[in-house]
A and B are shown apart, each in its own frame.
Chain A
Amino acid sequence: MVRTVERSPGSQVIAGQESSDRPDRIALRCRQVTKSFGDQTTVDGLTFNISAGDILVLVGPSGCGKTTTLRLIAGFERLDKGSIEIAGQVVAQEGLHLPPEKRRVGMVFQDYAVFPHLSVGGNVGFALGKSEATRQRVTELLAFVGLPGQQNRMPHELSGGEQQRVSLARALSMEPAVLLLDEPFSNLDAALRAGMRAEVRALLKQSGITAVFVTHDQDEALLLGDTIAVIRAGRLEQIDTPEAIYHRPRSRFVAEFIGQTDFLPATAVSGGLETSLGFMARDHTLPNGAAVDIALRPEHVRLQPDHNGLGRVLSRQFSGMSYIYYVALPDGSVVRSRQVYPAQIAEDAMVNVDLDGDYDLPCFHHGIAL
């Protein structure tokens, strides 16, 4: 679905971005941003920066405050404490609230918010006024988002994916310093969603725009973000590259939220960890006997049929390219294992469980990574 475009026309369509010449420049800076509704603190001291041209994804379970964060950046909510800076200008702090129309933020809404009484052209040109230049620019923007020549169609004639494109073109029309996208794919059906994710990311990268996505979908977060911020109960749990978030989660919460993760209980002993599967070498500074959880992803658990094995296969799920086995361990915990080979292991069979020795398995003590 990613359209191949020779030499990113986006950088011409979306002018005014400082991404290519000054990659280190901070486009958005949030410092200790805090917001309460009543006695409920929804956003609790969030601090993060985004470099110009980067895509940040705010991800977390529903109700964690990620959408409120987005609305604070956009100016639809007033913050209680902290400050927000867009392209070097303070737009919000205690006692200061720049209204949304002054902030140079573009927003793509969950329901797209395409103005139903205006044509596609009227929507995309809404911010621009009436002129020949506007018409020209609307034409460019529509071509850019893959709706060339559709100015005169009305929103009710458009599919969900097309409305999304209109919404994106409209948000890009005023050359925002930051583009905010609030769960933009959640209203699309699964088949369309995968294509639109890849396409929107490609478009954003072409245009060099700074973008903040909000999603509760971890797959989407990994796929879209240059940087991912995992939020839990209004606090930043970890902000990192997608790879670091996946492979080096800093807390048990992040490990559990991102990817399919099981936890194997272990006990600290000198030079390693003792589990029901045996000893695992691992450097640590914990006292002997401290409780540790080892995060296991299905691809790091290997199975070998063995009558004397310690694990017992409870069930298996076929997902086309692989099987997921649910394996009960001697200590009663259940872990998943992904096997890409044709089914070889029957349910109820005993297996030898082996952990990927080359992989640095994340371990947590009291929920914090070792």
Chain B
Amino acid sequence: MTISELVNGQAWGARWAQRRQAAGSRSFRFSSSLPLFAIAWVVAILVLIVPGYLVLRAIGAGQETLATFLSPRVWSALGNTALLAVTVVASTMALAIPLAWLTTSTDLPLRRFWTVLLTMPHVVPSYVVAYLYVSLLSPRGLLQGVLESLFGIERLPPIYGFPGAWLVLTLIAYPFTFLTVRAALLRMDPSLVEAARSLGQTPSQAFRRVTLPYLRPALAAGSLLVALYCLRDFGAVSLLQFGTFTRVIYNRYQAYRLEEAAAMALVLVAAVGVVLFLDFRNRGSGHYARLSAGCARIRPQTRLGAWKIPALVLIGFVVLAALIIPAGGLAYWFWRGLNQDWAVRDLSQAQSNLSPLISLIRPAWNSLVASMAAAGLTIALALPVAVLAVRKPGRVSHFLERLTYTSAALPGIVVALAYVFIGINYARPLYQTLPMLLIGYVVLFLPQAVTSERSALLQVSPSLEEAGRSLGKRPGHVFRRITLPLVRPGLSAAGAMVFLMAMKELPVTLILSPIGFNTLAVQVWTNISEAFFARAAAPTLLLLMLSSLPLALLTLRDGKDS
């Protein structure tokens, strides 16, 4: 309001009119979005605290931080991390493109079945696959035992270090690219390829000149996820003893070199930031052109003919390596574990055969409680951010949305470290409590929740909400009766994803859990890091089953609906 308006009094008149009106009606701009902004700001602060605190701490340590930045340890960690990310991205791309093409665009038998199998490694924690491969391929592991009895081989080349980390991360991370490329292929208008063919291109030329360029955004999106996975992974690289950042930071933390850990965490955050920035710049303003709606057409399929056999061999090999070998190893160790513990019982204590399983009830319960709370809290806190981003676009809501995405640049180990420091120094009552653990989970899983909630909200045409308003209903009522039912599938999917990730999450759980709060993931980790492979099998099995339960239920329900 300007001075002149004040002087001539018109604005006051308008104000009074508004007041009078407000008796009967609330001005909707404020009533509906003020609480949303408040919650979104709280979320933003929870995220900002992490890098903010690390920066303050690093500045506070001064000399020591500088020394850490320049130490060879940082440079070797940086080199190892980059090497791992680049090679894994390359190998996952090489696997994902043929696999996605075979399962969408050819007459390969059992395509749905293969698709399901090929997607499954995605939900297995990296430390589980690493543990099973270590137990199988380590210099004196299972395979060596078999080979020794057959051929007298006494030692295998080491799986530890780069080769093992590369193999395991490739096997776990390729589904990211597989899924994005698959989705792009399914979305692709078949007439694009037909147009190329009608312009005289052979099928392979058409693939190279039309399909591959079309897939580029999908490849970039999938590869970004793969690269982030490599940068953030803690379990596999630790077990396989490959010195990437996460492993080195955790070692420093365990050696109580907290200043050093904080400084290195900052370098890691910067590295992830660089990856995100490169992706952002690469994508630029280029939105995917939306293809004409048209009628859904039956996808023309390439007939493989005799190529079916090599195609099946490729898929079979991937399924074997990523799924069957780990599953077989797990079954083996589970069986060994039952017998072993039974033998132990005879020697020492009088416990029933099932006692190792009964002892898992407590950790399983802890895992379920923490993960369910994390899922509920994360989708609830992400919702205001997503709603503001979609429905009230503006500088502030855009900033808040961006900020939540930046927490994708914060690996679990970094979030955990920052909150441990904060807990010890400023929030003693929260230190090593369940709420602190949940805050860690929320910060960690926020980007996924915001992304899927945002896309769910984008599916709801604003005119649906406007129709509700024009039918005499308040914004809150419209949100409950129109928006919420329509985005509920998206919210459940987001919740199931967060639940799954929280069940598997290792560094945050290890560092932020209350003392004695044993979860399945911690149980698995403790056993395998001490090489009790047999004892780790039962909690691993339970973890896998429980963590994918909500996702499986959702998938089944979706299948029924359609």
Query: Are B470 and A96 within 8 A (Cβ)?
Result: no
**B24 touching A102, Cβ below 8 Å:** yes
CB atoms of B468 and A105 under 8 A apart: no
Q: State which of B26, B467, B472, B474 has its C-beta within 8 Å of the C-beta of A115.
A: B467
Interface residues of A in 109-135 (CB under 8 A from B): 109-111, 113, 115-117, 126-127
CB distance from B471 to the nearest CB of A (A): 4
A96 and B18 contact, CB distance less than 8 A? yes
CB distance from A137 to the nearest CB of B (A): 13
CB contacts (< 8 Å) of A104 on chain B: these are 472
User: B469 to A101, Cβ gap below 8 A?
Assistant: yes
- B225 CB within 8 Å of chain A: no
B25 touches A126 (CB 8 A): no
Q: Is the CB of B14 closer than 8 A to any CB of chain A?
A: yes
Query: Would you call B15 and A110 a contact (CB within 8 A)?
Result: no
Residue of A nearest to B22 (CB): A96
Which one of B14, B463, B464, B470 contacts A105 once the chains associate, using CB atoms below 8 Å? B470
Query: Residue B27 at the A interface, CB < 8 A?
Result: yes
A93 and B470 in contact, given A99-B25, A113-B461 (Cβ under 8 angstroms): no
A109 contacts across to B, CB distance below 8 A? 463, 466-467
* CB-defined contacts of B474 to chain A, threshold 8 Å: 99, 101
Whether A192 sits at the interface, judged by CB under 8 Å, is no
B3 vs chain A, min Cβ distance (A): 17
Per the 8 Å Cβ criterion, residues 136-152 of A in contact with B are none
Chain B residue with the shortest CB-CB distance to A182 = B463
Knowing A109-B463, A117-B486 touch, does A96 contact B472 (C-beta < 8 A)? no
B473 CB within 8 Å of chain A: yes
Chain A nearest Cβ from B167, distance in angstroms: 46
Beta-carbon contact of A170 and B467 below 8 Å: yes
Q: Is A24 an interface residue (CB 8 A)?
A: no
- Please name the residue on chain A nearest to B31 by beta carbon: A99
Q: Which A residues touch B26, using CB under 8 A?
A: 99
Does A46 sit within 8 A of B, measured CB to CB?
Answer: no
Which residues between 1 and 47 of chain B lie within 8 Å of chain A, taking CB atoms? 10-11, 14-15, 17-18, 21, 24-29
Asked if A106 and B470 make an inter-chain contact with CB atoms under 8 angstroms apart, the answer reads yes
CA distance A66 to B26 in the complex (A): 27
**A99 and B27: CB pair below 8 A?**
yes
Interface presence of B485 (CB below 8 A): yes
Partner of B471, one of A75, A96, A170: A170
Contact indicator B485/A117 (Cβ below 8 Å): yes
Residues of B within 8 A of A93 (CB): 14, 17
Within 8 A of A (CB), among B56-76: none
Minimum C-beta distance from A54 to chain B (A): 20
A96 touches B14 (CB 8 A): yes
* CA–CA, A127 and B14, complex, Å: 31
Q: Which B residues are CB-close (under 8 A) to A115?
A: 464, 467-468, 482
Residues of B with C-beta under 8 A to A113: 461, 463-464, 466-467
A106 CA to B470 CA, complexed, in Å: 6
Interface set, chain A 3-57, CB cutoff 8 A to B: none
Among A94, A103, A127, the residue within 8 A (CB) of B473 is: A127
B11 lies within 8 A of A107 (CB): no
Cα distance A93–B471 when bound, in Å?
Answer: 22
Are A174 and B27 neighbours in the complex by a CB distance under 8 Å? no
A94 touches B14 (CB 8 A): yes
Q: Is the CB of B472 within 8 A of A111?
A: no
- Return A31 CB to nearest CB of chain B, in Å: 15
Inter-chain contacts of B475 with A (CB < 8 A): 99
Main SS of the interface on chain B? helix
Contact B14 A95 (CB under 8 A): yes
Q: Is A97 an interface residue (CB 8 A)?
A: yes
Beta-carbon nearest neighbor of B470 in chain A: A107
Residue from B29, B461, B467, B474 with most neighbouring chain A CB atoms (10 Å)? B467
Interface hub of B29, B472, B474 (most chain A Cβ within 10 A): B472
Could you tell me the distance in whole angstroms from the C-beta of B489 to the nearest C-beta in chain A?
A: 10
CA of A164 to CA of B419, assembled, Å: 55
Q: Mark B454-482, 1 if CB is under 8 A from A, else 0.
A: 00000001011011111111110000011
Residues of A within 8 Å of B21, CB to CB, are 96, 98
* Residues on A with beta carbons closer than 8 Å to the beta carbon of B485: 117
Whether B15 lies near A95 (C-beta < 8 A) is yes
Smallest CB separation, A368 vs chain B (Å):
34
Complex Cα spacing A75 to B473, Å: 13
Cβ of B20 to closest chain A Cβ, rounded Å: 9
Pair A95/B470 contact, Cβ less than 8 Å: no
Tell me which of A76, A95, A107 has the highest count of chain B C-beta atoms within 10 A of its own C-beta: A95
B486 touches A116 (CB 8 A): yes
With a cutoff of 8 Å between Cβ atoms, the chain A residues found around residue B10 in the complex are 94
A94 to B16, CA, bound (A): 12
B463:A111 contact, CB within 8 angstroms: yes
Which residues of B have CB within 8 Å of A96? 14, 17-18, 21
Set of chain A residues within 8 Å of B468, measured between Cβ atoms: 115, 126
Bound-complex Cα distance A54 to B388 (A) = 39
- Interface: A173 (CB within 8 A): yes
Indicate whether A327 reaches chain B with its CB closer than 8 angstroms.
no
CA distance A113 to B465 in the complex (A): 8
- Docked Cα-Cα span, A113 to B485, in Å, equals 15
List CB contacts (< 8 Å) of B165-216 with chain A: none
Given contacts A101-B474, A109-B463, A111-B463, contact A75 B486 (CB under 8 A): no
Chain B residue, CB-CB nearest to A123:
B467
* Cα A69 to Cα B529 with chains together (Å): 68
List A contacts of B481 (CB < 8 A): 126
Residues on B with beta carbons closer than 8 Å to the beta carbon of A84: none
State whether A95 and B463 are in contact (beta carbons under 8 Å apart), knowing that A102-B24, A106-B470, A174-B471 are contacts in the complex. Answer: no
Residues in A with CB closer than 8 Å to B482 are 115
In the assembly, what is the distance between CA of A117 and CA of B484, in Å? 11
Residues in A with CB closer than 8 Å to B467 are 107, 109, 113, 115, 167, 170
Q: Are A110 and B463 in contact (CB under 8 A)?
A: yes
Residues from chain A with Cβ under 8 Å of B17 in the complex: 90, 93, 95-96
The 0/1 profile, CB within 8 Å of B marked 1, for residues 147-188 of chain A is 000000000000000000001001101100000100000000
Smallest Cβ-Cβ distance to B16: which chain A residue: A95
B473: chain A residues at CB < 8 Å are 101, 126-127
B27 touches A97 (CB 8 A): yes
Which residues from B are CB-within-8-Å of A196?
none
User: In chain A, what residue has the closest Cβ to B478?
Assistant: A101
Question: Closest approach, in angstroms, between the C-beta of A296 and any C-beta of chain B?
Answer: 39
Residues of B within 8 A of A174 (CB): 471-472
- For the complex, what is the distance from the CA of A101 to the CA of B21, rounded to whole Å? 13
Q: Which residues of A contact B11 (CB under 8 A)?
A: 95
A74 at the interface (CB under 8 A from B): yes
Closest chain B residue to A117 by CB distance?
Answer: B485
Q: Are B25 and A102 in contact (CB under 8 A)?
A: yes
- Other CB < 8 Å A-B pairs besides A96-B21, A115-B464, 14 of them? A75-B469, A78-B29, A95-B14, A96-B18, A97-B28, A99-B25, A104-B472, A109-B463, A113-B461, A113-B467, A115-B467, A126-B468, A126-B481, A127-B473
Which 6 residue pairs across A and B have the least CB separation, nearest first? Answer: A95-B14, A127-B471, A113-B463, A100-B469, A113-B467, A99-B28
Q: List 17 A-B contacts (CB under 8 A).
A: A75-B469, A76-B466, A90-B17, A95-B15, A97-B27, A99-B25, A99-B474, A100-B470, A101-B472, A102-B25, A106-B471, A109-B463, A109-B466, A113-B464, A113-B467, A115-B467, A117-B485
